[in-house]
Structure 1
């Protein structure tokens, strides 16, 4: 799996975790089909869940005053959370993370979601 595919897998796992309240470890195991998980994918999933509430508070600061994290679609939430983990903990260059997050949003979210995701991540 290349990094783009791992980001997509992380997004899918976070989506399940957020929407269905599933244990992230089960989601990742089912997605990978093995206990051998790449360290990058591990960081994007397990690390994100460890920092989930801190990231949600931070994301709320970057949204407009009349919006909050809970109003975002679950896919937007998942993309933003894994992106925060990747920028802040994995320390991937911000431009790379924004590009990948926008690509995922264009593929899987509503038409204008990528603009919101780009705006939040750019302000980070």
Structure 2
């Protein structure tokens, strides 16, 4: 498994936990990342994702809510919702190519979601417009 894929998995774990029991301590967050990744590049990548999603969560959720017809984010499974947030952040604000971000999200959905999650995640992210971060 690639370092970035593993870092995305760890970022997803943190984002999922944020829904239930947010980590407010920066030290707690960095300790968690270090304990799971033990690689500075991976830790930095995961931290960028987590902090980016946290900082842009309202805008990301609004965008996803517009795309996910007949689905509110609150009704989505927690894993699906956070995979979508992670991938949307990468597409809208990150340096990851759109196709790679979507593919990685689908792989996360296969691993952490239900049998229908990968198709659900792919369908929503496919509708996510390509826009620069500051548009």
Fold similarity call, TM over 0.5:
yes
Gaps of 5+ in 1: none
Q: Judging changes above 3 Å, is the alpha-carbon distance between structure 1 residues 28 and 93 closer, same or farther for their aligned structure 2 residues?
A: same
- Identify the residue that residue 105 of structure 1 maps to in structure 2: 109
Aligned-pair Cα RMSD in Å = 1.9
In the TM superposition, what are the counterparts of 1:3-42 in structure 2 within 5 Å? 3-23=4-24, 25=26, 26-33=28-35, 38-42=43-47
1:84-112 Cα shifts (integer Å, max 9, x gaps): 11111113111101111011101111100
User: 36-45 vs 82-91, which deviates more?
Assistant: 36-45
TM-score (norm 1): 0.88
Number of aligned pairs?
122
User: CA 1:110 to 1:123, structure 2 compared with 1: closer, same or farther past 3 Å?
Assistant: same
After TM superposition, where is structure 1 displaced by more than 4 Å over at least 4 residues in a row? none
